[in-house]
Amino acid sequence: MFNQDITPYQNLSILILVSFAFQSILMPLLLSEIDGPVGWMTIIIAAVVLYFSLKPINKLLLKYKEDSFLSISNKIFPRLISRAIGIYYIIMFLIANSILMKDFAEQIKLMMLFRTPLGSIIIVILLTASYATKKGIKTIANISSITVLIAFIPYIFIMIFSTYYADYSNVFPIYPADVEGVLKSVPGAILGFFGFTILLFSNSKVTVQENNRSINKKFILFSTILYVACYLMIIVKFGIKESVHLVWPFISVMKYVNIPGFFFESTEIVGLCFQIIVTFSCICIIAYFTNIAMQETFKTREDGFFIYMQIPILYFMAAVLPGMYMMFPYIQWPIIILSGLNLLIPLIAALVDAKFKKVKNN
Amino acid sequence: MKSIKILFITIITSIVLTGCWDSVEINKREYIFAVGIDKNAKNLTFTSEIPKINEGSEEQRLVYTKDCINFADFYATSYLHSEKVISDRLMQVIVLGEDLARDSEAVKRIFDEIQRSPQMNRRVKICIAKGKAQDIINTEIPHNPIVGRFLSEMLIKLKRESYQDIYTFDEAILDLGKTGNAMIPVVEINDKSLKVERAGVFKEYELIGFLEPEEVSSIMVLLNPSKATIRNVNITVEDTNVSLGAVDITMTKKMDLSNDKLKVDYYVTLYSYIDSFIIGSNKLEDQSYLNKIKEEATKNILMVSKKTLDKLQNSYRADLLKIKEDLYKYHKQDYEKIADKYDEIFEAADINIHLDMVIKSTGLVK
């Protein structure tokens, strides 16, 4: 129905934006699980794991250029397994999107619309996001690339300005590092690179597929830099002891924005507005790829109408689920499972495909 | 189909517009500039200062005093007592009364409420009242009648010059969280005005004593030598009064923690100018006289520093020098061994200041 092609750089902006949203949601986990300000080590380990995992996955995706990961799994796995994989991705996307939406709605309520019911905020976000999602990948890709320019970059600048009264010695002590804590929080950090899962679906939509390999690597690189920079920014501002208590470290950092000569009374609200655009784009992106996952699992010709199925599910889940910060004590295992599956499913698929090819050649 | 679309848009618009249902026009708001909190027999007494911004008379103010349990209760009560809506978004200063500051539970509750609030800015300035906070807020300053503005401008000025370490709530809570100790400015009534000279020593959210201006200055040299502003050194050498102004300070520090014995050495070099001497004397051309000035000044500064260190180590047992933080950051392994008994280690610590005085200039005349 709509033009389904996106440029490599639109793909890159989609991947970076989605990862950034989840990195900020999962940041408190990284701050609280490690004794000392060495969470950046966890991020680097997670990035290295993902970087090396990308090689076989890139190969697989390039081999089946026109297919998304679910179409590929339909080809290489038995029907039951491929259906299970499809259903896993649908459920995972729905959970991820509802958590993102809930957190986002709570931030808006707490900072801007104090008396507006949370349900009203969620339904407004949902209806607006579903309109953009229905328009297809082209619209979403345009929203993402514009978001990077008009919101994401200024948002990062605002964050930088908020470190005006920072204590840079807070990055110490580095040695001795809490090795156990660092390793224990790697699954959470891997889940923070949510773009890694999205690229399994988005790469097939890119016009120049040959660039995907380098774009995927660039995504890991940029996302790592952003993740580490944001982590360090929170650390230098608050120190590790105070950071552990924060529900939304990013929002708290914005409360200190100090731009010389800036004329707005509440700069944190300006920062929050940028974040609203960033998070809204991410909700659209995930909702779209949930549509794609549904289309390929249930083998339909159209994907757009699945958004109508998503709206009540997402609304119900976002309304019922507690905020992410309330779930932290209970989500250690779910995070390990989700991040393990997100990493292992494509890797196993790549392995199976390589074996399949070998057998065929023999 | 068209009517369905119109209906849909109407419903969406009405939902979106809900965001405005609690909007309040600016002229229907009262902006608190300063709030003083005191302890009373039962609860807390909140004294708020609200400038009459909306009426165009910036130099006039309203002062309300209410007995409440906490900030939330104060806002709720204020809402019922005024036709306008109280807003704390522009709050400049929070003044804690001395009695309140001496009650760690009350301080913890207030700090927690400020920290938790999405509306209140963590960069709101904070100070301790010598006596009652209510008296500070009620002070009539002829040239700058809005106490919140006066204190805010004063604290910003002092912060810029690094007279003290902490000026905002954010800095106070971060320091108390990291080290358990903090030095918060003390505001006092000064004739028909206010002054901020001394500092209150906080330990575990409790005011345990005060530091005099020269003691604050000594601590600031050790805490932030590159920015610290120290007062002139006034000495008498061979019956002549000499005043030295510090222009630059450099410092290195050495820490050693072994067998529960902490040794800290501060090596300070103080570069100074001769600010005042006496007309008709050429003694400043004589190197031996200059050396005498240096010796006397060093003795003078070290005497105050030693007195301050003694006060911190023995009277207050409060590590305002942030040695604990440095140990955690740069000697973590050693620190972890003594973390539980740090107060005793600090009390018995051997802290030495080695001062090297350099007279850079004698001013515009020899």
In this predicted structure, which of A31-40, A109-118, A208-217, B138-147 has the lowest mean pLDDT? A109-118
The proportion of chain B whose per-residue pLDDT surpasses 70, expressed as a percent, equals 95
In tens, the pLDDT along B310-362 reads 999 999 999 999 999 999 999 998 999 999 999 999 999 999 999 999 988 87
By three-state DSSP, how is residue B212 classified?
coil
Q: Classify A277 as helix, strand or coil.
A: helix
Q: Which two tokens stand for residue A257?
A: 């924005």
Q: Is the pLDDT of residue A349 over 60?
A: yes
Residues of A in contact with B123 (CB under 8 A): 165, 255-256
- Average confidence (pLDDT) over A265-289: 84
Please write the tens of the pLDDT for every residue from B169-213: 989 999 999 889 999 999 999 988 999 999 999 999 999 999 999
Q: Answer yes or no: is pLDDT of A54 > 60.
A: yes
Residue A1, pLDDT > 50, answer no
Tell me the pLDDT of chain A averaged across its residues.
88
B15, B171, B333: residue with CB nearest A123: B15
Tell me which chain A residue has its CA closest to the CA of residue B122: A255
- B contacts of A252 (beta carbons < 8 Å): 122
Residues A174, A178, A181, A182, CA torsion sign = positive
Q: What is the pLDDT of residue A266?
A: 65
| Across B78-95, average pLDDT | 84
Kindly report the nearest CA distance between residue A279 and chain B, in angstroms: 18
At residue B236, the 3 state secondary structure works out as strand
Average pLDDT of the residues in B226-254:
87
Q: What is the pLDDT of residues B95-116, one digit of tens each?
A: 999 999 999 999 999 999 998 8
- In angstroms, the separation between the Cα of residue A190 and the nearest Cα of chain B is 28
Segment A153-160 mean pLDDT: 79
What number is the average pLDDT over the span A287-308? 89
Percent of all residues in chain B with a pLDDT value above 90, rounded to a whole number: 51
Q: Which of B15, B178, B330 sits opposite A173 (nearest CB)?
A: B330
- Identify the pLDDT of residue B351: 95
Radius of gyration of chain A (CA): 20
Residue of A nearest to B331 (CA): A173
Q: What distance in Å separates the CA atoms of residue A9 and residue A206, rounded to the nearest whole number? A: 9
Q: What residue of B is the nearest CA neighbor of A114?
A: B22
Question: Chain A within 8 Å of B13 (Cβ-Cβ)?
Answer: no
CA distance A37 to chain B (A): 10
Residues of A whose CB is below 8 A from B116? none
Mean pLDDT of A88-117: 89
Q: What is the mean pLDDT of residues B287-293?
A: 90
CB contact under 8 A, A241 and B177: yes
| pTM of the entire predicted model | 0.89
Inspect the interface and report whether the beta carbons of B333 and A124 lie closer than 8 Å.
no
**ipTM of predicted assembly, 2 dp:** 0.83
Residues of chain A with a CB closer than 8 angstroms to some CB in chain B: 36, 110-117, 120, 123-124, 127, 165, 169-170, 172-173, 175-176, 238-239, 241-242, 252, 255-256, 265-266
With an 8 Å Cβ cutoff, are A239 and B178 in contact? yes
- Whole-number pLDDT of residue B58: 65
Q: A139 pLDDT exceeds 80?
A: yes
Candidates A117, A123, A255; nearest CB to B121 = A255
Residue A197 neighbours by CB under 8 Å, 6+ apart: A89, A92, A342
Domain coordinates in residue numbering, chain B = 27-211, 216-361
Rg of chain B taking only CA atoms, in angstroms: 26
For residue B329, list chain A residues with Cβ-Cβ distance below 8 A: 169-170, 172-173
Q: Closest chain A residue to B112 measured between Cα atoms?
A: A245
- Determine what percent of chain A is predicted with pLDDT higher than 90: 48
Give the distance from residue A242's alpha carbon to the nearest chain B alpha carbon, in angstroms: 7
- Cα separation, A9 vs B154, in Å, equals 51
Distance CA B159, CA B166 (A): 8
Which of chain A's residues have a Cβ under 8 Å away from the Cβ of B173?
A: 242
Q: How far apart are CA B332 and CA B364, in angstroms?
A: 50
Retrieve residue A45's tokens: 């380990």
In this prediction, residue B56 carries a pLDDT of 61
Q: Supply the pLDDT for residue A326.
A: 77
- B332:A176 CB<8 A: yes
B122 contacts in chain A (CB < 8 Å): 252, 255-256
Provide the shortest C-alpha distance from residue B331 to chain A (in Å). 8
| Closest CB to B19 among A116, A169, A173 | A116
B328 touches chain A (CB under 8 A): yes
Question: Please, which pLDDT band fits residue A260 given cuts at 50, 70 and 90?
Answer: low
Q: Worst-scoring range by mean pLDDT, A7-16, A249-258, A298-307, B233-242?
A: A249-258
Structural domains of chain A in order of their starting residue, each with its CATH number? 8-349 (1.20.1740.10)
- For B181, other C-beta atoms within 10 Å of its C-beta total 24
pLDDT one-digit tens code per residue, B161-180:
888 888 999 899 999 998 89
pLDDT bracket for residue B1 (50, 70, 90): low
What residues of chain B, 14 to 73, have a C-beta less than 8 Å from chain A? Answer: 15-16, 18-19, 21-22
Distance from CA of B283 to the nearest CA of A (A): 46
- Rounded average pLDDT over B262-276: 92
Select the residue of A116, A172, A238 nearest B174 (Cβ to Cβ).
A238
Contact A277, A145 (CB under 8 A): no
Nearest CA in chain B to A166: B171
User: What's domain B216-361's architecture?
Assistant: 2-Layer Sandwich (3.30)
Cβ A120–B15 below 8 Å, yes or no? yes
Q: How far apart are CA B237 and CA B292, in angstroms?
A: 7
CB contact under 8 A, A120 and B18: yes
Interchain contact, A124 vs B16, CB within 8 Å = yes
> Average pLDDT, stretch A113-117?
81
* B247 touches A: beta carbon within 8 Å: no
Q: Is the pLDDT of residue A258 over 70?
A: no
Please give the pLDDT value at position B113. Answer: 92
SS3 B229: coil
Q: Which two tokens stand for residue B129?
A: 């009242």
